[in-house]
Amino acid sequence: MGVRHMMWTLRSPTLAFRDRVMEGKPTQDMMVLLELDQSQIVELELHHPNQHSSICRALPLMIEIQNYQRCRPSFMRRVHLKNEAALATRPDNFEGLENEVIKGEVSMAQLANLKIIASQLNASNEPEDLDILIHTLVTGGQVAVESREKECCRQFLLAISNLLPIGCIKLATYKDQYLPEYSSRFNLIGGPHNMDIPLDVSDVIVVRVMPRDLSIVDSDKMSLENCVIEVRRRPENDGSGGGLPQIVKRYRDLLLDADVRDTLLESVLRTTREGWMHKAKICYQMKHHLPASEIFKHITGVGYDDRQVVMYWTAGLSDAYKQHVIASLQHTRHMSIPQTSTTSSR
């Protein structure tokens, strides 16, 4: 084990657990999960251990033991009941993944696929395609994956979804054709080989995944490791004209680091997501108090190139959090009215 790997091993889990304990309330991913409908949960495969698995298993217990003072008791009861119902429901057509559920291997398989994607793109004739893919993903662009095999699309899209908070994921693992409304409806979409995406959809990166062995028809045996991954189309604004957001560099370095893998990679990715979601929370609060030009002066660690990421990630905040911010603002304004009147009368 190298020194760098030891550093990550000691540092990232400590940061993650400290954040969970000190925050004293469910994370944004947890809150968003409670607001998803059943079809979204199934599409994201959140019924079993995957990219955001720990929140599914831990949520009922965490909500019971944590003192989330901003939620009324009636709301907390609804949260617990809804989460239990979501976890207890399992679709009939679950594609035979039960063994992976039991073994807890799905999450690691997705992270392994994520490393494969990064490695192939970095080793291609256009190594900057890895940065373009990550940049498009974290700034709100669309990633379209085309393949003759639906399973390849599914594996690719679920792998890269680990780089986004749940609230920012609008996923369709496979559509037979690309309809005009899909450009705004989904940010992750899969489709057939040579999928016809209109040229006026400018903020999209199209990736083609081609199995090397066409004789494999069993989806359980398909792996991105045995596929050729190449970028067929790049977005007009691919980030190459200026500096890259910090999170793009962070993700790229993690995915290309051979010492960061499996549970260590999962922990570091989660910590990174939560760190940038914290900045998004501050941004959402500030935009209700300050002009747009003043917001980022009050958020530490956010440079000019990071602003688009933070603005987009505010869409990943839970409705409960947004409502709380607005309600608190209205309450503050309401309380200031009588104080002003009293001061004037004196």
- pLDDT tens sequence across 297-323: 888 899 999 999 999 999 999 998 888
DSSP E strands: which ranges in 212-327?
227-233
**Which one has a higher pLDDT value, 8 or 272?**
272
User: Model confidence at 288, in pLDDT bands (50, 70, 90)?
Assistant: confident
Burial class (CB in 10 A: 0-12, 13-18, 19+), 332: exposed
Domain-wise residue ranges, the chain: 106-247
Does the pLDDT value for residue 82 go beyond 70? no
Q: What's the average model confidence in pLDDT over 77-87?
A: 41
pLDDT for res 337: 65
Fold of 106-247: Rossmann fold (3.40.50)
Q: Which residues contact 274 (CB under 8 A, 6 or more apart)?
A: 16, 19, 27, 28, 29
Burial class (CB in 10 A: 0-12, 13-18, 19+), 122: middle
Q: What's the average model confidence in pLDDT over 155-173?
A: 96
What is the edge-to-edge ordering of all strands in the sheet holding 188-191? 171-172, 188-191, 142-146, 204-211, 227-233
152 with 224: CB under 8 angstroms? yes
Q: Facing residues of 228 across strands?
A: 210
Q: Which helix or strand (DSSP H or E) is residue 146 part of?
A: strand 142-146
* CA distance linking residue 193 with residue 176, whole number of Å: 10
Task: Return the structure tokens found at 93.
Answer: 């057509």
